[in-house]
Structure 1
């Protein structure tokens, strides 16, 4: 999960504007959304230090971060668009359940994730310490957190806090039971797309899927991931004479249970029943390249 130094932008102070009526006051405790590469929409605690006006006339803030430091170890200061600044959510201490959408405090900021597992509590003296395994669907990473470093994932919308699971709830890209294909970029999969089934919809863009061919001990593996890694499945049917590929064609080949990208290097067989040599091991018969 990435970290980095934010880019500084020269501020343009203003004495007053209509936007200021809707701005949070100077000194307000806020959180600032970061969309820099590697930050994945995480939020960082800060304090409003002044109001600004951008060249387009839209309200902006200067903020001093609470957890991010500048080059001289002082609180980092930068400008932020009003749309990326929100109040700090009210505290809510409680237990969490599997597949609940949460935010985890990690690398000085709050990151959106999903509870993947509840860790058996440990007892220290008279205190029970609970922990959870949290998956970050956009990053495809899973880390363990104590309960004190988690909070419910909420969105500040229309001046109130709304559970993230209710935002965009009516329009998920996939539904439970849908047959899909999931991309892999690990070394063992070489960018292949593997068949899976959607087991559960988590919010508008996160899904619990079960793989058909990947797993250990004869059990299908499951994963919580973002929609960017999922596409609808395709029916595998024998291709008719309309489909012919020439050398150097970019295709996908059904190989070891998944669709893998490759290039046709040689056309084999007759005009009616063709096979193709490709960049992966072996050949593929007519009807199994796409």
Structure 2
């Protein structure tokens, strides 16, 4: 605890968030968590917080008084850049404008009429959008947008790159290759294709089948726990047994009845990564579950720093505790877009 004589702190002077700056504000309310709404910075406080005013959210039903809130700095960012025109592709991560806000999703269908089906992991919904309501998903990292606008990032990387860094990277890759060869003694199938791994859309879960189960409980949203199907208990519902969670008296593994919305097959083991890259989307094994995150820093092999957007945390993991992220959408395993590569 600081002494009573500690001088008062000055208001936050982040140059990106001066009073009057247009920003996007992340909501933390139940059902809206992770969505961004446009607004304006009204004032910076002395506690690293900001007073913001929303553009399209109001305090009154008539829509005459814009809503003002006090938010943390991690909840705001500048207005995300956007290409004037872009051809979106299957499996690309995008932001979709829906209910006055921008929501992160992944393109699951490119329709002939020019519209796109977008799947939202947070709500497990799929909604159709026109090109005008989509933008490539970007992250605000250390005061810069990643990826940058198309056509800019290659020049930026070339200017900063030098022969010494290339040699260092080569040495790291060689060490990774040696480590993988020590661990894997059999031939690994080619996994360079970008197409999703097909599976029957209406596949039923059978007794003894290895699956993963998600939860809607606070603090566990987005986590997937390994489990086994015990038996069906009704339409679209199964009794499952967790592989890592135990009963309160620790006498046996925990069993629960779960609906099919929260069950998916165990991800295929055909993708083996020698080395993860910065900004690559991964699943990290933490507290007996797999959590979706983004590699924020490549540390000395075999360690990586992973950032979790939902909790605004950054943790370090071993290579063996990470796997490439995949989504189970409409009976298919879909790999994430490569758009976030540096």
* Aligned pair partner of 1:181 in 186, 202, 211: 211
The two structures have a TM-score, normalised by structure 2, of: 0.46
Structure (1 or 2) with the larger CA radius of gyration: 1
In structure 1, list runs of 5 or more residues that go unmatched.
Answer: 1-14, 122-129, 165-174, 211-219, 227-290
Counterpart contact for 1:29–1:48, Cα < 8 Å: yes
Partner of 1:99: 91
Counterpart contact for 1:196–1:209, Cα < 8 Å: no
Partners of 1:61 and 1:16 lie apart in 2 by 14
Counterpart contact for 1:199–1:209, Cα < 8 Å: no
Partner of 1:28: 21
Residue 208 (str. 1) matches residue 327 (str. 2): yes
| Residues 182, 80 of structure 1: alpha-carbon distance in 2 compared, 3 angstrom cutoff | same
Pairing 1:22-61 to 2, within 5 Å after superposition? 22=15, 24-54=17-47, 59-61=48-50
Q: Which has the higher helix share?
A: 2
Pairing 1:207-286 to 2, within 5 Å after superposition? 207-209=326-328, 221-222=331-332
Q: Deviations over 1:100-131 (max 9, x none)?
A: 0101011111100000000112xxxxxxxx21
Partners of 2:14 and 2:265 lie apart in 1 by 52
Partners of 1:118 and 1:200 lie apart in 2 by 26
Partner of 2:108: 116
* Aligned pair partner of 2:117 in 98, 121, 133: 133
SS at match of 1:110: strand
| Residues 198, 103 of structure 1: alpha-carbon distance in 2 compared, 3 angstrom cutoff | farther
Structure ranking higher on relative contact order (CA contacts 8 Å, 6+ apart): 2
Counterpart contact for 1:46–1:64, Cα < 8 Å: yes
What is the RMSD of the two structures over their aligned residues, measured on CA atoms? 3.5
SS at match of 2:106: strand
SS at match of 2:45: strand
In structure 2, list runs of 5 or more residues that go unmatched.
Answer: 1-7, 149-190, 198-208, 216-233, 239-257, 272-279, 283-291, 293-324, 337-342
Partners of 2:75 and 2:55 lie apart in 1 by 16
Deviation of 1:159 (Å): 1.3
Deviation of 1:200 (Å): 9.1
| Residues 51, 18 of structure 1: alpha-carbon distance in 2 compared, 3 angstrom cutoff | closer
Q: Deviations over 1:145-201 (max 9, x none)?
A: 00110001100101111149xxxxxxxxxx999x96233899512416553444898
* Aligned pair partner of 2:67 in 76, 89, 93: 76
Partners of 2:54 and 2:212 lie apart in 1 by 38
| Residues 147, 187 of structure 1: alpha-carbon distance in 2 compared, 3 angstrom cutoff | farther
Q: Deviations over 1:235-274 (max 9, x none)?
A: xxxxxxxxxxxxxxxxxxxxxxxxxxxxxxxxxxxxxxxx
Deviation of 1:91 (Å): 2.0
The two structures have a TM-score, normalised by structure 1, of: 0.54
Q: Which has the higher strand share?
A: 1
Counterpart contact for 1:26–1:48, Cα < 8 Å: yes
Deviation of 1:22 (Å): 4.8
Q: Deviations over 1:181-236 (max 9, x none)?
A: 233899512416553444898822252348xxxxxxxxx9226699xxxxxxxxxx
Deviation of 1:25 (Å): 1.2
- Count of residues paired in the alignment: 180
SS at match of 2:115: strand
